[in-house]
Amino acid sequence: MNVLTTDRLSKSYKGNFAVRDVCMNIEKGDIYGFVGENGAGKTTLIRLITGLAAPTSGSYSLFGVRSDSKDICSVRKRTGAIVESVTMSRSMTALQNLRMQCDITGVRRTDEELRELITRVGLDYGSIAKKKAGHFSLGMRQRLGIAMVMVSDAEFVILDEPMNGLDPQGFIEVRETIMRLNGEGVTFLISSHILSELEKICNRIGVISHGELLEEISIADLHKNARRRIVIGVPDAERTLNALAAGGGFPEMTVSEGKVTLFGDADINLVMRILVENGIEVSSVSTLEETIEDHYIRLLGKARLS
């Protein structure tokens, strides 16, 4: 079952598209990473699917209910979102903030249920019971923000750049909270430009650039299809490149900062034999696989050329 489906969803401002013909699919149980540079259209798309902005064209469905249906408002209650920043009172405790969220959303929760929710997002209620949110670390505030959107037992949680400004411990804490809730059945859409963090947490990613969704791919498929590369450090990169081109028929090679990189499933034994036969001194050899960041940069490069 798809929690979110968008059908050629578009939004333009004064004739300029912020989001254009986006077709996205998020399945129940996903932790879906939404990757894009600043201004790529991530926040605009999130504002569209949360009802904070109206599409110029196209549509979307939440839990199978179309955005133009009279039932969309009721089904949207199953969705929680933090768009751009966490909104809370820093002069209130965690429990007081959750009570205020209940009042705003019209949800009834006992203090015991709210304390359980605080624990559920990885905060130690006993140690923070009297502490004002303004004295929390950024990671603690992010987790409290997640608790606030979970007040209504959200099944689909949307987080816009939740890792911004976090220190390494904050990364770990927020990541563990997301994975814990996902294990309890909560589906996530997480936008970020911090690709290394998404790789650790997401099972699928979508890459957006200049308002267009370039690709959706599972992390498993990304690693399965990742391009291998051999990076060779040599004193004379151009001579090395010419020797390999003449002797190996390798399909793709590049030179950068005194290193020759061969992409694909090049036979390293053949590579080394060619270098030895040509008397080329080698200072270093490493075999690497493509990461999300490599894949992302390559996709953007292709998009700019098309």
pLDDT per residue rounded down to tens, the chain (306 residues): 899 999 999 999 998 999 999 999 999 999 999 998 888 999 999 999 999 999 999 999 999 999 999 999 989 989 999 987 778 999 999 999 999 999 988 889 999 999 999 999 999 999 999 999 999 998 999 999 999 999 988 999 999 988 888 888 888 888 999 999 999 999 999 998 877 778 889 999 999 999 999 999 998 887 776 677 889 999 999 899 899 988 877 878 888 888 998 887 788 899 999 999 999 999 999 888 777 677 777 777 777 766
Q: What pLDDT does 306 receive?
A: 64
- Are 20 and 107 found together in one domain? yes
- Are 128 and 11 found together in one domain? yes
- Are 66 and 164 found together in one domain? yes
How are strands ordered across the β-sheet holding 31-35? 79-82, 156-160, 187-192, 31-35, 204-209, 212-218
- Are 73 and 26 found together in one domain? yes
- Are 232 and 214 found together in one domain? no
Which ranges in the chain belong to alpha helices (H)? 42-49, 72-75, 94-105, 111-120, 125-128, 138-149, 168-183, 195-201, 219-224, 237-247, 268-277, 292-305
Domain range for 6: 2-219
Q: Does residue 84 form part of some domain? A: yes
Quote the number of domains for the chain.
2
Evaluated on CA atoms 194, 198, 199, 200, the torsion sign reads positive
Interior/surface letters 45-80, b for 16+ CB within 10 angstroms, e for the rest: bbbbbbeebebeebbbbbbebebeeeebeebbebbb
- Are 105 and 253 found together in one domain? no
Q: What pLDDT does 225 receive?
A: 67
Q: What pLDDT does 167 receive?
A: 83
- Are 266 and 171 found together in one domain? no
- Are 142 and 279 found together in one domain? no
pTM more than 0.85: no
Structure tokens at 37: 């540079």
Q: What pLDDT does 305 receive?
A: 65
